[in-house]
Amino acid sequence: MSNVTVCVRFRPLSHKERKANADNVCFRKLDSESFVFKDEREDDVVFSFDKVFYEDAQQSDVYNFLAVPIVSDAINGINGTIITYGQTGAGKTYSMEGPSILHCNEQKTGLVQRVVDELFICLRSSAGTWTVKLSMVEIYLEKVRDLLDLSKDNLQIKESKTQGIYIAGATEISILNSSDALENLSQGIANRAVGETQMNLASSRSHCLYIFSVQHGSTSDERVKMGKIILVDLAGSEKVEKTGAEGRVLDEAKTINKSLSALGNVINALTTGKQNHVPFRDSKLTRILQDALGGNSRAALLCCCSPSPSNAPESLSTLRFGTRTKLIKASPKSIPE
């Protein structure tokens, strides 16, 4: 059994892709878990995952498969993480936020808002007391920036017995309902844009983390359970050369790729039996994700791909990353029942 649920999502062809390649796509669907990947430079390859979402998949399909178990676990004190991975333009942010977190019809609502809605529905219907807190941070060039308070631009990651790994000093806002959450999330997203303009940075070059901390006290046994949900919209995974970057921008791109390659190294170590030497400390990103990937929480990876043959090399690299991640094995004590 894998420790991480790994899914693939092919977004619909964009207008530009359709213009360049008509309706051609880089895969042939086999079933809801596998497809043949066609790359003209290489032989066809069959890929299998826990689930494949093709172009016509709805946001609710992705949510129901990936997030529902994570939300119910969080209420029972088990941490959960959902990560979107893929090249820029592959549909990571669309899957997380929808086309826009504020102005979005119900059908297009992304994972973040759906997680919040479901959290409150579950908590309200349960007996006992609860609190939900939201933090939002961005990792850029190995600095963790607080998106709910831009004056905190270099947060440190710490570990404690009670909290596990956490971001020290990150703003935590108590949220009471969905609209409260939406207001704060949109503030965080707006802050991200402000910071990016100040730093002349495109959002595709930073990792964005939405963190929901849930405390749920059951009236029956009076135990307080603490669960955390971390949603991670990763920076674009494309090769630096493809971005045409130079100078400072090239250095930045290399550092960003470094944290993604640190993630790749962590996954390699976890899948090749080198569990004693997993380099979680090599980047801020992997350190924050240590609990998620190291085994004491539920984790899901959504590999986002363009369906266009013109993006086949990047899509192939994303699919290979997903395949490796699927090989992470759960240690028997770590997987929640």
Does 37 engage in binding with ligand ADP (CB under 6 A)?
Answer: no
Measured distance CA(127)–CA(78) in Å, rounded: 18
If the CB atoms of residues 81 and 213 are measured against ligand ADP, the closer one turns out to be 81
Does 79 engage in binding with ligand ADP (CB under 6 A)?
Answer: no
Binding to ligand ADP (CB under 6 A): which residues in 301-330?
304
Taking CA atoms, 105 is separated from 66, 67, 108, 110, 120, in Å, by 21, 19, 6, 10, 19
Among 80, 91, 227, 307, contact with ligand ADP (rule: CB under 6 A): 91
Site string for ligand ADP, 230-269 (x = CB under 6 A): ------x---------------------------------
If the CB atoms of residues 286 and 306 are measured against ligand ADP, the closer one turns out to be 306
In sequence order, which residues have a C-beta less than 8 Å from that of residue 262 and are 6 or more positions away? 279, 282, 283, 285, 286
DSSP 8-state code for residue 104: -
Structure-token pair, residue 218: 């059951």
If the CB atoms of residues 58 and 331 are measured against ligand ADP, the closer one turns out to be 58
Among 5, 135, 171, 204, contact with ligand ADP (rule: CB under 6 A): 204
Structure-token pair, residue 234: 């990763």
Does 228 engage in binding with ligand ADP (CB under 6 A)?
Answer: no
In sequence order, which residues have a C-beta less than 8 Å from that of residue 83 and are 6 or more positions away? 232, 234, 289, 292, 299, 300, 301, 302
Does 92 engage in binding with ligand ADP (CB under 6 A)?
Answer: yes
Phi, psi at residue 41, to the nearest 5°? Answer: -85, -15
Binding to ligand ADP (CB under 6 A): which residues in 8-27?
11-12
Does 110 engage in binding with ligand ADP (CB under 6 A)?
Answer: no
Does 113 engage in binding with ligand ADP (CB under 6 A)?
Answer: no
Among 63, 65, 94, 210, contact with ligand ADP (rule: CB under 6 A): 94
Measured distance CA(173)–CA(95) in Å, rounded: 24
Structure-token pair, residue 243: 């971005």
Which residues does residue 329 pair with via DSSP β-bridges, in sequence order? 2
Tally helices (H) and strands (E) across the chain. Answer: 10, 14
User: Smallest distance, Å, CB 214 to ligand ADP?
Assistant: 26
Window of 92-100, 159-167, 216-224, 294-302 that interacts with ligand ADP by CB under 6 A: 92-100
Taking CA atoms, 200 is separated from 128, 197, 203, 247, 254, in Å, by 47, 5, 10, 14, 16
Among 90, 185, 229, 301, contact with ligand ADP (rule: CB under 6 A): 90
If the CB atoms of residues 98 and 294 are measured against ligand ADP, the closer one turns out to be 98
How many residues sit close enough to ligand ADP to count as binding (CB under 6 A)? 14
User: Smallest distance, Å, CB 11 to ligand ADP?
Assistant: 3
Which residues lie near ligand ADP (CB under 6 A)?
A: 11-12, 86, 88-94, 99, 204, 236, 304
